[in-house]
Structure 1
Amino acid sequence: MSFFRLVMSFWILHSEVFYKQVSCLSVSRYVDFVEEGGRAVNVRVIRNKTDPDIHWTIFPETGSLKFRKTPFGLDVYAPENSKVDDRKKYQLIGTARGSGFARGPGSTLRPGKTLVKLRFTLLDNDGIAKRLLEIGGPVKFTVNHKASPHRTEYILSDFNPEIHQDWEFSPVKLTFQANQSGSAIMYARPKEDDIVEGTERFVLSLKRISNRMVSCVKSKLVEVIDDDMLGVWSTWYPVSDCQRNDLGKCSRSMSRSCKNLDNRGLSSNPHCIGPAFKQVKCICF
């Protein structure tokens, strides 16, 4: 037997030792977007122990989107940063790890073969934002829905799960039944409150929920300029005459007002620390 035939016979006899076939691989996730500085998105990976290990990469390579392994798969997340991420679409790619050979009509797996591709949208909270007064708005989102075999809902939300404390949405939810199409407009308006918060940044996003998948249709970066501000007290106004109350006690009252510190005008809502009214005892005649 020639040396060439000897080598080929060895390769054929031992190729099955290196060959690994995927018998059970299931990859699922319920969200296809990742919010910068927000919660991680769980990717559940189910496979048999005999299946090949999966090597995960993010394409294109970036520091804006990362992942970490968990006992049940992966967590995909976007660390908080201060740079504007120009690219918004990324792929999480899973390939067969290790070397091996595949032979036979039913052998489809080769070294480095791509097994999984998941697309993610990165919701960046940096960059130029639309600026609104706390008493301003609204922010408008146009929904153009194409008919789908599944019931579909649209909602507006932000990274913060307590977003409804800061914003009011109209309508709160938009629903299209299966095989129904249509267009509508959804509005988001900041709520007026009496809390000094300063300027706050939000990433309002239009979410589509269909067939147990939550997708981001579009997002808008918004800064809300707080009209609540720390003010300064005026001097106490002249004390009132001594008056007897219903309990027969006599007192004089004094009051003062909270004023704007920098004259921001009618859009401001100043707040001062301390009482605006007090009483002092006196003798009634």
Structure 2
Amino acid sequence: MEKKIRFVNGEQVQTIGVFAGSETLRGYRRDVATITTTGIDYAQAVALFTDGAKWSIVEVGEEQKEKVYDWSSHGVAGPITDNRDGTLIIKMGKNNTVEQDLQDKVDTARQETAQAQAVTEALAGQGVATVEAAQAMRMMIENAAALLPDSEAAAVPSLSKSWVVGEAVKPGDRRYYAPTGRLYKVREGQGHTTQADWTPDKTPAMWVVIDIAHAGTQDDPIPAAKGMEYEYGKYYSDPDDGKTYLCKRIGEADGGKIVLHYLPHDLIGQYFEEA
């Protein structure tokens, strides 16, 4: 695989490799890219790798396909070492120091905490002073959500009880699975105790996806998922290829439903046709 450094002005430099680390550069500790180049001399490197330089790593693989990795955040010029064997070692530091990045993370965490507090107070209708009070409120929300019909519960899936490992669930129980952002329901006859390797998105034989947030038209297709209850006559977007498909089968009328353990692109000509 060929690797090269590409600058925004189009100039390119062959590179043997780029190593990412942290060190003191220009008086501050920061993330630093250590670049080994070949095919250019010291004077050319000085002219290219300047303060503010915007560059990317480009990997060229089979069939000349390129993968581009943006390193424009590393625009602080550091030392250049001539190895006298046709290669140079060049240091380019991150624009922010390590301390600045840490402060940014702290500021972001504070903002998220403040936002979470505001959301909690909005839900409660008053300030929530303790973790215990917030937990009690959450339990009441989950209990109320459990009483909603599927159509309403799926509109706000995160209000339902979250899926956790080691819980005994019975048919009809609904659980919110955060990694997918979706609400799932235990199938008839599939009561079980949850396990780490039996997540709802990977066990369609046990869980069915509930989705009502989309009209199922060509302009507003329903996001497809393995184990979903599909409806004939409605459109679905396939997460694997990004295409839209119509659920259709000879002999089946629009409005009929079927649970399928595959995505639409796997069942073209059987249950789906490309829109």
Please tell me the TM-score bracket, short chain as reference: under 0.3
Between structures 1 and 2, the one with greater strand share? 1
* Bigger Rg, which one: 1
Between the two structures, name the one with larger relative contact order (CA 8 Å, sep ≥ 6).
Answer: 1
Q: TM-score, normalized by length of structure 2?
A: 0.17
